[in-house]
Structure 1
């Protein structure tokens, strides 16, 4: 009997030392941010924007409208500026009744002006933030600002910023964990980073290259589309762009593409055909010839002809071989053209050629 009382007393005493969550923050006291924008402001200050959800409107099933500031939207966008990121964050927090929670951030968008100015100093803050997930994806806004982009509604998504992730997945790319890969490329001595490029408007012709767009027309823009790939220098400054087709080729060469549709003219029959390719592979092998280094790029894939606008009978092996040779030649020309453009026009290595030399020497 006494023994039972002693045991019970010990258990009661142990409860006094049990830790609790007395200093935790309730979910209802948080502003949950899903997308984040970075722009260059006046006097080289930093402008940041956050796209956060309104939980009550998410649960009630209300859909987004055209204006990010609308009372009917399940999200809102808040913007602040400062001499650096943390200064801007402090100014932003003063505008909010709840503490911003960044643990669910999925997207970071960078305005073109900020990207051309350089983002090395800005990224220092993000690499030190324990709440930022490395699975966050990066995008550059072509011809616009991150703030305006986050205010654009997207018809297929309740939270517009997440639509960029869906579009990126639909073009056949792997889930790249863009921020992590960007940091790896930025720290590499032989490879320059790349970032997906996104532009306002669902149609490619929504705003032509260099066309001025005033505030009223910006507010009428609905949706956005992937416009290619942004190329950064090793100083982390935007130096140029690849279009959608060139971006796919770059990802095939670097081993970051899982599906692709190749369409080509068939000169022998004055028609065209399309090949749907999967199981894509890539191998880069440096070849040293005296004082020169060449690279052998071997691309592989397996696919099926999904559209045949020729009179060729594909039950005959000769015609299948003819189409295969045509597709191979088309891919070879496209890859060579893309690599030449990047090397001569931008002077960067986004394909990992430098890393392939290092890996080859390490294996010796």
Structure 2
């Protein structure tokens, strides 16, 4: 009996060996169409136009065979488009146009066209989160004009426009918003988000490249307003996402006369939203703290003198506070969308009042009082010491 048992166990192990191999369902890289970036535009008759940037290895590098890239004028990518009733339908039609299996796992950038964003992007985002391949860390942008034009650009510094946008989004001064970030904001309590706005810019020699020109406000998944690059930075600061930034402000003498400009680089920035409800009046204080170093001094102020620093710090903090309040009021007035996360601050501190009034949040937000308190200390005067003046 023992011998029969050993034979049975041995037979079972032998039968399991073929199942342990990991290559039975393999897909070779040469059989994949690697999607580096994708764009969605509003098509004709309510359709969706999907465009993808497909990576094509350089055939002269000995790295395998690549897809012919003559259409885009580049040896690293092609742009292919397909239309459908929605993202999923356009994706299936796109597969019919490519000789390789579409693979979304390398996607770094997703761009939504301006016209489609005005109609709404939530329904199309459902495909990206339901499909197992797209990265939640891929960056999202809104383009002025057609998003397809952004993918077709042949940039010179980076490999392609997708890599260019990814690098810009990851910089400390960028406004990178990932798919996961966008989903959290649009499904959060305020149901509003701010996404980088990109457009084409022509450089020397006729070269065209993408750049972040401002910010787009999405409310309920629809594009409702567009703002400048400066406002984008203040929004990041209020949200606590901007850890390093520069501030240029006019230095005033004791008599109030302007004495020139000074630029300070603020680091280790910390932002806190302090909500308050007083007799049914809702207000929020934006408190900013950090440390700064002088980048440029075009005034007569001597930053090497400790006695001068309190005066300069007061003027610096006043400038920061004014920028925060102006940005908040502008979005409050024109976009009427809570892109700052104020709703979450009230929910944490006043859960009962928030639960009672959450249906009126858009109305309440448009009337909230804003006050900014900045406390940035100038700790580094720079290497040159005194001003040349």
TM range (shorter): 0.7 to 0.9
How far is the alpha carbon of 1:245 from its aligned partner? Answer: 1.4
Candidates 266, 284, 303, aligned match of 1:277 = 266
Equivalent residue, structure 1, for 2:93: 91
1:290-309 alignment to 2 at 5 Å? 290-309=279-298
Structure 2: gaps spanning 5 or more residues: 64-68, 354-389
Tell me the distance in 2 between the aligned counterparts of 1:193 and 1:296.
20
Equivalent position SS for 2:246: strand
Candidates 208, 226, 248, aligned match of 1:241 = 226
| Preserved CA contact (<8 Å) 2:243 2:269 | yes
Q: Describe the superposition over 1:268-304 as per-residue Cα deviations: whole angstroms up to 9, x where unpaired.
A: 2520010011111110011111010110110112110
Q: TM-score, normalised by structure 2?
A: 0.81
| Preserved CA contact (<8 Å) 2:53 2:77 | yes
Equivalent residue, structure 2, for 1:197: 197
Equivalent residue, structure 2, for 1:259: 244
Change (3 A) 1:60 1:45: same
How far is the alpha carbon of 1:185 from its aligned partner? Answer: 0.8
Equivalent residue, structure 1, for 2:50: 48
Change (3 A) 1:177 1:192: closer
How far is the alpha carbon of 1:107 from its aligned partner? Answer: 0.4
Tell me the distance in 2 between the aligned counterparts of 1:60 and 1:229.
42
Structure 1: gaps spanning 5 or more residues: 62-66, 207-219
Tell me the distance in 2 between the aligned counterparts of 1:90 and 1:245.
40
Q: Describe the superposition over 1:180-208 as per-residue Cα deviations: whole angstroms up to 9, x where unpaired.
A: 011011111224111111110156xx9xx
| Preserved CA contact (<8 Å) 1:173 1:258 | no
Candidates 187, 212, 235, aligned match of 1:250 = 235
How far is the alpha carbon of 1:21 from its aligned partner? Answer: 2.7
Superposed CA RMSD in Å reads 2.5
Q: Rg bigger for which structure? A: 2
Equivalent residue, structure 2, for 1:209: none
How far is the alpha carbon of 1:57 from its aligned partner? Answer: 4.8
**Residue 118 in structure 1 maps to residue 120 in structure 2:** yes
Aligned residues: 339
Q: Describe the superposition over 1:91-141 as per-residue Cα deviations: whole angstroms up to 9, x where unpaired.
A: 211111001100111100111111111112211222211111110110011
Equivalent position SS for 1:348: coil
1:72-151 alignment to 2 at 5 Å? 72-142=74-144, 144-151=145-152
Equivalent residue, structure 2, for 1:186: 186
How far is the alpha carbon of 1:59 from its aligned partner? Answer: 4.8
Equivalent position SS for 2:286: strand
Equivalent position SS for 1:223: strand
Q: Describe the superposition over 1:129-184 as per-residue Cα deviations: whole angstroms up to 9, x where unpaired.
A: 11111101100112x2111110012121112211012122335247x551101101
Equivalent residue, structure 2, for 1:215: none
| Preserved CA contact (<8 Å) 1:250 1:351 | yes
Equivalent residue, structure 1, for 2:387: none
Change (3 A) 1:104 1:290: same
1:16-31 alignment to 2 at 5 Å? 16-31=18-33
